Amino acid sequence: MQKLLAFFCAAACFFIQAVHLNGQSRTGTQNVFDDAMSSMDKAFNNVDAEFTQEDAYYLGRTVAANILAVYKPYTRNSALTQYLNRICQTLVINSSQAVSFNGYHVIILDSPEFNAFATPGGHIFITVKLVEAATSEDMLAAIVAHELAHIILKHGIAIINDMKVTEEMTATANRAADFAGKDNATAKRLMLFRNSVTKTMDTMLKNGYSQSQELEADREAVKILVNAGYDPLALQDMLKVLQRVQKSQKGGFNTTHPSPADRIKNVESMRNRANDTGKYRIPRFKNK
């Protein structure tokens, strides 16, 4: 699967044009195209195939591009974005997956929603409204740690793997074939990739992960916070803020996460404590 999703992300326009290349002479570009298509066949036809970090990154980059077509990035305070990325790197080096294909990146979205989500490739999105709701660096770290946990636990990749064992992929490919011609394998394969991106987008922006995945991400987030020296109780504090705003907000967090009350109970059951290093973070938070 290596280089597979990179090819799709970097040459989407070429893929669309390539549908019309049937019967034409083969070129060097066509050979590259066929090699990528062959790799994609193996990836999507083999249920047991493993997504590499590189595969996850390029899938995530495509999803990220779609997210930025829906939300505008927050650009009024670049220092705030840098601050969140420093928090993220502190968490990453204290996590079980400190290395990724192209690192982890936090992007603030200019949205009045209280929401956050992450792509499989290491892109973490947090709305400016959610950032502003945090009253400490520890609470900001809790938001980032939860999204980082989704990446580490491969919840986004699980969406694609679930699709492989359903008839949805086959049905979509058949519709593409009907549209482009029964013998057009290119259309089938391209539609498989497109559908995986669409499914990931729907999960992140509309349907949300399953409750079990959200609770698992909270538990992983607590471990990361403790390892990094942050107060794990900050996750509860953030959830309590979300619990208060839940009744007044439609969409966003309400549609993509389970009840804050259930998540608070889940986190409370862990009873983890970290060394108190808050005095080092208070000045940073005030000057963010």
The dihedral over CA atoms of 99, 106, 139, 157, expressed in degrees to the nearest 10, equals -60
* 72-154+209-286 carries CATH number 3.30.2010.10: yes
Find the angle CA(51)-CA(56)-CA(61) to the nearest 5 degrees. Answer: 155
Going residue by residue through the chain, which has 288 residues, state the pLDDT in tens, using 9 for 90 and above: 444 443 344 333 333 333 333 444 445 545 544 554 454 455 445 444 567 888 788 878 888 888 898 899 999 999 999 999 999 999 999 999 888 888 999 999 999 999 998 988 899 999 999 999 999 999 999 999 999 999 999 988 776 666 554 444 455 555 555 555 555 555 555 666 666 666 666 666 666 788 889 999 999 999 999 999 999 999 999 999 988 887 655 544 555 566 788 888 888 877 666 666 667 788 888 877
* Environment class of 3 (CB within 10 Å of its CB; exposed 0-12, middle 13-18, buried 19+): middle
The tens digit of pLDDT for each residue in 1-12 reads: 444 443 344 333
Closest by CA to 230, choosing from 146, 151, 137, is 137
Report the distance separating Cα 143 and Cα 174, nearest Å: 41
Length of the chain (residues): 288
What pLDDT was estimated at residue 23?
A: 40
Q: Which residues 6+ apart lie within 8 Å of 146 measured at CB?
A: 116, 217, 218, 221, 235
Enumerate the CATH 3.30.2010.10 domain ranges in the chain, comma separated. 72-154+209-286
The tens digit of pLDDT for each residue in 225-278 reads: 999 999 999 999 999 998 888 765 554 455 556 678 888 888 887 766 666 666
Q: pTM score > 0.85 for this model?
A: no
